[in-house]
Chain A
Amino acid sequence: MFSFVYQDESIPVRPAPIPWVVSDSANLERYVINPLKQVVSNRTGCWLALTAVLFVGGWRLSIIACQPSHWLSIATELGSVGHIESMHPSPDNSALLYDQETETGIGTFFYSMASGHSKLLFEQNEAGYEEWRARTLGWSPDSSLVACTVPANLVPGMRSEEIVLYDGTNGDVTARIPASEYAWNSQFTWLSPHAFVYSSKDQSLAVVEQQSNGTWAESHIYEQPIAGPNWRALTALSPQSVAWQEDRAVWMFDFASSSSSKIWESPTNTTLESFTVTETGDLLLRCSDSQGQLSILFAPSNGNWDPKAVVPSITRNEHGERRAKLSMDHGLYTFTIENGTNSEPTRFVWEGMVEYYNLVGDDLYFTGNRASGLPGIWQYDLNSKVVRCLVPAMKGDLKSTTIVTPLLGTCTNTLENQISYHLWEPVNVSPGKKYPLILGQTHYIWSSYPQIAARDGYYFAAADRITWADNIDNWPEDVLGLYKTLVERPNIDTNRVFLFAFSAEAGDANQVLATRPDICQGLILFVPNGPPFLSQTHLLKTFVVGGMDDDLIRPKWYIDYLEASARIGIPLKLVLQDGVQHIPRSIATERERARQFARFLIEN
């Protein structure tokens, strides 16, 4: 019988045999039930055990209870917005091809303006994704067909590509043309609605034509390289010739004579930025001088391409060229659209974010979002001035949250230049309460991270960049200027400031840490390819996300960084995602990043 009296070593106790096998009910009672009864009857022990469990469990539950409600479901939903990668409107504005993240990879979709519906044409998984193997090559001049390159075989080491022609009205497959010579550096252009040309990796050409019976087949192959390896922008000059840019020169290849010739070369102190072929077959050459001053030259064809005939294009848009230019004016994206006349360009101000844009006829297409909404593909009609969303990036509305609209502001960076920024405030700011701040300078496009930060009680501020590369060199100066402006706000907790950097921005964040180590206590880095920050031992929290298949940063670098950080006492929260490269290419990856980002925020 069990005794409540405390038993010490002076009382002999016979050791119980270990019940390896409970063979019958007697043994079950002897080895399991009786000891359990003894444990249960030790009330002091039970109460203490229960107290310990309740104390620790209660502590943990109180932390969970103090967290923002539904933080994980909000991050999950916001992270599930599939990023639109690119778009290709048809020349007659009847359809659109676009690439968007799917659950497992990148899908290419066909959107019909008439029906308003999208159709998935093909999809490439994120694991092993190679951008050049699945991309839109271009619409035929009459919009009847659109060509894409599609991997015919995804087995590693067994690559084979094919060019697939889709019907321009409904997206059905019209033809599959094996293109075994198609490579990552291949060029493609339509010659006519019934012929196109593509190059192999060594700049040889294959012409594919529609046969009299309707099938498509390679009609001519030019096996000798027609250009150097630095060629780009292959464009049809006529159904019998193509042109391309090679360094400072424009070249052409004539199919009839099978010969290449240089059309024009810019002076040594001038850079040829790009060229286009007008509807009449002439060339417009965009050049910039050593000061970056842009000029447009006009090269009439006249059959012989005389360099002496190249003249500056003096009057505005005299050749009826249509083009759109994106700029940012006081934090607002502004399109300047030249629509083929000499009239004043049309200006269209968009109160939201923009990533890709394309002007086709009288319609401007762009990907982006209103400041208070989700992203999508938008169409702006130059005539009616009406803008409408063609393809929302997410079907339906958000269920667990709403979009936080950023505030627009301007400040001065440390170079004394005025910059614009956007600030996402935490929802339901209390007057006397301090909130942490996340600072960065980023391309002003849709991202779930500012939304998640605002929902989790953080200020998120980003100095604006119009494109990824534009103004990235001013990252440290802009961020320091922004910090100086924002710390004057009474609600910002200057003891909890984080720097937010993506990829190459990590090196700039390191510069900020080097010059002003006192301003920030934590780092949030996505695929950082900058140097490590291990000299900054004052850092308290670091969050790093990387991909195991990153072609720029090897996973070993992350692991070494993690171990080195731990040794000097910087707790590093590292997320390494399997099958993910430098740029995420699936909703699943984006969602998991968003969830881990939210977890980091609420735990800090």
Chain B
Amino acid sequence: MHSKVIRWFTDSAGALLLALAMAMFIGNTDGSMWVPPHDPLLVISMPVVFWIVGALELAVGLVCLFGKRAWLKTTLTLWLAVTFLAYEFGLFWAAGPRSFAGYMGNLASAFHVTPGTAFWILTMAFVYLLSGSVVSLLWPCVHSPRFNSEAHKPRE
């Protein structure tokens, strides 16, 4: 049961990450001549941010779909989700609560959604990846015989 749930999560995470990576690549290569803003945290152009994030998503997504080690898949997913959400928090802190829409750039327009919607889709996806990977990593600990024996040890 445990392996099946984790496998279901890593497979869905892989598909989700591949979809996000592809969306970011399409957003970056839609042929427009827009001058992109610079990310206030890393001070690099936003398409570069999307290329980097997209490449990481692609790599982790492929590992999730075709890799063999479950701990590696969940750990990489957790790392990517924490990194991205920390980045979003940093952007929020550095540029203000309304800034996300200003940085979504071509990603939103390429898929005909508002920048705010694009931001929430990204955030929800990474919150799912974060929570799923945390649960997947903690599951063996919570359900291990040792954990259970310690947790349910009757009081003397």
Contacts and interface: CB of A to CB of B under 8 A. Distances in A.
A537 B110 contact: no
A572 B102 contact: yes
Interface string B99-114: 1111111001111101
B15 A566 contact: no
A567 B102 contact: yes
Contact of B35 (A8, A38, A39, A576): A576
A42 B3 contact: no
B32 interface: yes
Nearest to A42: B66
A52 B16 contact: yes
Given A53-B22, A63-B112, A559-B35, A571 B104 contact: yes
Contacts of B102: 565-572
Given A45-B14, A563-B38, A56 B23 contact: yes
Interface stretch (B68-76, B126-134, B142-150): B68-76
A409 interface: no
A51 B12 CA distance: 11
Interface in B1-46: 3-4, 6-7, 11-12, 14-16, 18-19, 22-23, 26, 32-35, 37-38, 40
Interface in A3-20: 6-9, 11, 13
B98 interface: yes
A278 interface: no
A592 interface: yes
A39 B98 contact: no
Contacts of A566: 37, 95, 99, 102-103
Nearest to A573: B34
A124 B98 CA distance: 46
Nearest to B94: A567
B3 A575 contact: no
A512 B33 CA distance: 29
Nearest to A2: B68
Interface of chain B, helix or strand or loop or mixed?
Answer: helix
Nearest to A8: B70
A11 B69 CA distance: 8
- Interface range for B: 35 or more
A540 B11 CA distance: 37
A59 interface: yes
A599 B19 CA distance: 24
A371 interface: no
B37 A48 contact: no
A566 B100 CA distance: 8
B101 A48 contact: no
Contacts of B112: 63, 603
A51 B35 contact: no
A414 B71 CA distance: 69
B128 to A, nearest CB: 14
Interface of B: 3-4, 6-7, 11-12, 14-16, 18-19, 22-23, 26, 32-35, 37-38, 40, 61-62, 65-66, 68-71, 95-96, 98-105, 108-112, 114-115
17 contacts: A7-B68, A8-B69, A13-B68, A48-B11, A49-B15, A52-B18, A53-B19, A57-B22, A63-B110, A63-B111, A63-B112, A563-B40, A566-B37, A566-B103, A567-B102, A575-B34, A603-B109
Interface of A: 6-9, 11, 13, 38-39, 42, 44-46, 48-49, 51-53, 55-57, 59-60, 63, 537, 540, 558-559, 562-563, 565-576, 592, 596, 599, 603-604
In the A-B complex, list the 6 residue pairs whose CB atoms are closest, starting with the nearest.
Answer: A569-B98, A566-B102, A45-B65, A566-B37, A52-B18, A52-B19
Given A11-B68, A45-B14, 19 more contacts: A6-B4, A8-B70, A9-B69, A9-B70, A38-B66, A39-B66, A45-B11, A48-B12, A48-B14, A48-B18, A49-B18, A56-B23, A540-B114, A566-B95, A566-B102, A566-B103, A569-B98, A569-B101, A571-B105
